[in-house]
């Protein structure tokens, strides 16, 4: 599978709010870094995604541009989120996915936290 297909699969799982499918994309010792947190290990990453799943009615992420090199792929995306309250949020960001085999061993997310 191409790296961009794996990324699309991950975002599709996020959109379905399927925690097990989201986590299946991460190595057990993966690292997740964003402007507001650094998480190490799949259990800590799972806690973050439980919050996303619980707090948003809808999560839609669309990759708009990407560049792949070696074990990494950088992906720009547009995101539409609907909170449980019905409030809609739109965001644009950039993620750097670093792979070990077919799974993410590091995910670095770059976005404006105020958009979420």
- pTM score over 0.75: yes
pLDDT 10s digits, 16-49:
999 999 999 999 999 999 999 999 999 999 999 9
Q: Which domains does the chain have, with CATH numbers?
A: 3-115 (3.10.450.50)
Q: For residue 43, what is the enclosing H or E element? A: helix 42-55
Task: Return d(Cα 19, Cα 92) in angstroms, integer.
Answer: 22
- The pLDDT tens digits of the residues spanning 57-114 come to 999 999 999 999 999 999 999 999 999 999 999 999 999 999 999 999 999 999 988 7
Distance CA 48, CA 65 (A): 25
Residues 59 and 17: beta-carbon distance below 8 Å = yes
């Amino acid at each position: 599978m191409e790296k961009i297909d794996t990324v699309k699969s991950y975002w599709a799982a996020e959109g379905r709010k399927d925690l097990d499918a989201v986590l299946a994309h991460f190595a057990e010792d993966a690292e997740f870094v964003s402007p507001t947190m650094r998480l190490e290990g799949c259990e800590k990453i799972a806690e973050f995604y439980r919050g996303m799943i619980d707090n948003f009615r809808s999560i839609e992420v669309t990759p708009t541009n990407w560049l792949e090199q070696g074990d990494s792929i950088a992906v720009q995306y547009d995101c539409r989120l609907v909170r449980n309250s019905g409030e809609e949020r739109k965001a644009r960001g950039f993620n750097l996915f670093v792979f070990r085999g077919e799974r993410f061993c590091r995910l670095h997310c770059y976005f404006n936290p105020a958009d979420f």
